[in-house]
Every structure is written in structure tokens, then in C-alpha cells.
Amino acid sequence: MQITTLKIMPAILAVAFLVLPLAKQGRAQELPKQQLSVSDNQLRAFAKAYVEVEKIRQEYGPQLKETKDAEEGKKIETEAVSKMQGALTKEGLTEDSYNQIFEIARADDGLRKKLIEFINEERQKS
């Protein structure tokens, strides 16, 4: 069963591209200049949310793939999305702020490296 209606999943999967060297292009350049700075606290909140969402994906992804019942799949999907949104909210983030931090970090090598460090630190805590 495909996970096509998860609202957060594209952004979460896109974080995988953080490890790839990307050109300083894209949506981050379209953001107003005052929005291009991201504090360490925001990066740490993103890292915590990312690690938690990663755990949720690992838990619910196999269940979604294995289910043959569309109704059961929708139930699993709804629960996963709810938990993902809860993980963002717990860290003071919205889907928009999460996506914005991702885009800014994607466009800035220094921020991307710092974010990867924070993500790795959070993974080690778990």
C-alpha cells in the first residue's frame, strides 16, 4: 500500500538529501532574507523532531506495506500522521516551519553540516 496521503512524509523523506552536497539554489533563496537565519535552538528542535519522526516511520512503514485492507491502512496512516505531527508540536514546530528549516539548511552547507551533527547526536541519545 502506498503512503500517498501523508502530509508530512515528503518533507521527512526529503531530509535524506541533507547528506548530499547541494547547490545553494532552490526555495531557500526565494525566502525573505530575515527568514534565512536559523538558530541552533531551531536546528536542535528540528533534529529532535526528525529523529522522532524517523522512529515513527520505522514503526508504521512496515505495517502500511503489509496491510492488504484499505480501511486498516487508512487507520494506520492516520495514527502515524498524528504521531508525526505530535513530534513536531512537542518541539515547537509546525509542518511549515519544519519544511522551512529543511529548505534553509539544504541551501547552506554550514547549516546542513551542523544539522546533520545535531541529528546524529539525537540518534545517539535514543
Convert the pLDDT of each residue in 16-28 to its tens digit: 333 333 333 344 4
DSSP category for residue 33? G
How many Cβ atoms are within 10 Å of 72's Cβ, its own excluded?
14
Section 30-58 average pLDDT: 84
Convert the pLDDT of each residue in 45-63 to its tens digit: 999 999 999 999 999 999 9
Dihedral sign of CA atoms 66, 68, 72, 76 in order: positive
Residue 37: predicted pLDDT = 83
